[in-house]
Amino acid sequence: MSSSKIGSALTINPLPNQGMNLLQFEVILSVIIVTYRSRGEIEACLDSVPRNLLGRSVEVIVVENASGDSIGELIRSRFPWVKFVESSSNIGFSKANNMAYEISRGEYLLFLNPDTISNAEAYIHCLERLRVEPAIGIISPKLVLLDGAMDLACRRSIPTIWDGFCRASGLSAMFPSVRLFSKYNLTYLPENDTYDVGSVNGAFMLSPRRALLRVGAFDEQFFMYGDDLDLNYRFRKAGYRVVYDGRVSLVHIKGASSSKVSERMSAEVFNATRQFYLKHFNPHDSHLVRLKYWFLFSAWKHLAALKARLKGYRRAQPL
């Protein structure tokens, strides 16, 4: 096993290995997992990741974000084949993913959450699609929760203000099959089919290295949330397809790390989404546009919080 310790001041080059020959890879897939307070989930996650696919090896890189839960000891003893990188501080999801990307060797990159249970069938299906459909930049299978229900966030649009209102007000839940009200999570589309979407979920994002070399990896201004939406949007702007394929699936034990600090993380989701809109839809840094998004996302956050309290939830659930 490869293991290293790093600090928080490392500068990440978002386009590593630019001189490599993309036709010569011993490793077919690099699976990148960022952990934070994930000791209870990581064993099942790593046990489920295939070691070989399509006759070639799979590498797994885990970056630990200073949880203080002795996860390093567990990984070193139970999974000696994993490349383990330990940060001395919580550097965030985006920067940790970029750090692993910098040292990865696979032809394809999978950014995977530690609260997932994988299966080889889903991996092979998605890899085969990337091999024969070079226009696909990011692909994800259907993500299924422990109760068997679909994780609605595994396929999304790039939501408009109207889509956000429908999600926050409950209109999308009341009319999940009506396109006008349900474009946020695309619930009007069949969940067991495949099609292009605005974004897939950061819990499983599989991409060819050649596409990442062109588009770039994660934007580190997004600490924990909003990074997946930003990356998907940049892939689409670069001309790549973002694909949801519900013909295969894997399990997502949702919110394993963020549930420990749920109230603060609920606010972070809204703040990161606002940050995404200010980055991509306010190119001239207009004060009026910033004020508009501040007002809209504040209203959305309070409406979602009210709905959560009425339903007995501890926190707002915007996604």
Q: Across the 319 residues of the chain, what is the mean pLDDT of every consecutive 10-residue run?
A: 46 43 79 94 97 97 92 95 93 94 97 97 98 98 95 92 84 95 96 97 97 95 88 96 98 66 61 78 80 75 66 52
Superfamily of the domain at 3-157+197-256: Spore Coat Polysaccharide Biosynthesis Protein SpsA; Chain A (3.90.550.10)
pLDDT of amino acid 10:
34
The distance in angstroms from the start CA to the end CA of the chain is: 36
**Three-state DSSP string of 221-250:** CCCCCCHHHHHHHHHHHCCCEEEEEEEEEE
Answer yes or no: are the C-beta atoms of 61 and 100 closer than 8 Å: yes
pLDDT at 280: 80
CA angle 280, 108, 99 (to 5 degrees): 65
Q: List Cα–Cα distances, 209 to 110, 139, 155, 241, in angstroms.
A: 10, 13, 22, 15
Per the rule left: phi > 0, alpha: psi between -120 and 50, beta: everything else, 92 is left
pLDDT reported for residue 7:
42
60-107 residue pLDDT tens: 999 999 888 889 999 999 999 999 999 888 999 999 999 999 999 999
